[in-house]
């Protein structure tokens, strides 16, 4: 099963709002929830959003997730320098068999 | 606070088997699923597979023919074996916990290089 499709990069100035898209299919996002991870080089990925819209404890409310059909989005409001990282969406895929599929990843740059 | 720690050789010869272990501390292994994920240099994250404490496994179909994930509940650890490795298997390998709402806990990762 193919990775979920994300833009390679997005950028914004401090304080701005950026949105990262994640495009899947009826076999994954279309029927399963989406998770989002933040990954800084040299560290372990961090779960930012689970169940498509839920922030785990400790994640700032600047991060929000949404879904629509076979796509999902992660919005970062009030962009901060420490938000510069790679971001991955992920969802379970059911075709041909169940597996956890990561997105292609998006590099967020704070200008 | 649950913690995961990967261990194993950092260098594996091509065609041989890559073997890693993830030790769990701070929580019971008899809950949730336990996962292996990797990231090749310059590439994105790739889910390898997971195991439940009962021993039930699910693998990434693209790796299924070469992968075995096992669990030792008495030692609170689970392991990854990846056979017939090539340079394409050079990556940082992470173990993680899947609580059915995502992967909230990760190990720090371990770099494995496949040499020719």
| Nearest-CA distance A54 → chain B (Å) | 9
Q: Is A109 on the interface with B (CB under 8 A)?
A: no
Q: What is the per-residue pLDDT for B97?
A: 96
Average pLDDT, chain A: 96
Residue B50: list chain A partners with CB under 8 A: 100
Tokens of B95: 């173990």
Cβ atoms A31, A94 nearer than 8 A? yes
Q: Is A54 on the interface with B (CB under 8 A)?
A: yes
Q: What is the per-residue pLDDT for A107?
A: 98
C-alpha B88/C-alpha B85 separation (Å) is 8
Q: Is B36 on the interface with A (CB under 8 A)?
A: no
| Nearest-CA distance B52 → chain A (Å) | 14
Closest partner residue to A102 (CB to CB) among B45, B59, B107 is B45
CA distances from A95 to A2, A50, B107 (A): 10, 21, 29
Q: Is A56 on the interface with B (CB under 8 A)?
A: yes
pLDDT of A96 above 80: no
pLDDT of A101 above 80: yes
In a 3-state reduction of DSSP, which class is residue B104? Answer: coil
Per-residue pLDDT of B32-42, as tens digits, reads 899 999 999 99
Closest partner residue to B102 (CB to CB) among A1, A35, A98 is A35
Per-residue pLDDT of B26-81, as tens digits, reads 988 888 899 999 999 999 999 999 999 999 999 999 999 999 999 999 999 999 99
Q: How many CB atoms lie within 10 A of CB A4?
A: 27
State the average pLDDT over residues A83-89.
98
Q: Is B46 on the interface with A (CB under 8 A)?
A: yes
Residue A74: Cβ-neighbour burial (10 angstroms; 0-12, 13-18, 19+): buried
C-alpha B112/C-alpha B91 separation (Å) is 6
Strand partners, A49: A36
Closest listed residue to residue A6, CA positions, set A19, A17, A14: A19
pLDDT of A26 above 80: yes
pLDDT of A98 above 80: yes
Q: Is the peptide bond before A96 cis (omega within 30 degrees of 0)?
A: yes
């Amino acid at each position: 099963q193919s990775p979920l499709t994300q833009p390679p990069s997005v950028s914004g100035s401090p304080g701005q709002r950026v949105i990262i898209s994640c495009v899947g299919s009826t076999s994954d996002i279309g029927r399963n929830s989406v998770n989002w991870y933040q990954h800084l080089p040299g560290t372990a990925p961090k779960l930012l959003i689970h169940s498509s819209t839920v922030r785990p404890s400790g994640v700032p409310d600047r991060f929000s997730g949404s879904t629509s059909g076979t796509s999902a989005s992660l919005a970062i409001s009030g962009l901060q320098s420490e938000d510069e990282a790679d971001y991955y969406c992920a969802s379970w895929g059911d075709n041909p068999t169940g597996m956890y599929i990561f997105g292609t990843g998006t590099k967020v740059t704070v200008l | 606070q649950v913690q995961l720690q990967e261990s194993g050789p950092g260098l594996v010869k091509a065609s041989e088997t890559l073997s890693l272990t993830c030790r769990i501390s701070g929580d019971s292994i008899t809950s949730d699923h336990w996962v292996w994920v990797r990231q090749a240099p310059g590439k994105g994250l790739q889910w390898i597979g997971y195991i439940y404490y009962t021993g039930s496994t699910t693998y990434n179909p693209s790796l299924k023919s070469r992968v075995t994930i096992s669990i030792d509940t008495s030692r609170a650890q689970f392991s990854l074996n990846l056979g017939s490795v090539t340079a394409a298997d050079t990556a940082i390998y992470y173990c993680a916990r899947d609580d059915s709402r995502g992967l909230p806990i990760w190990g720090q990762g371990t770099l494995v290089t496949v040499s020719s």
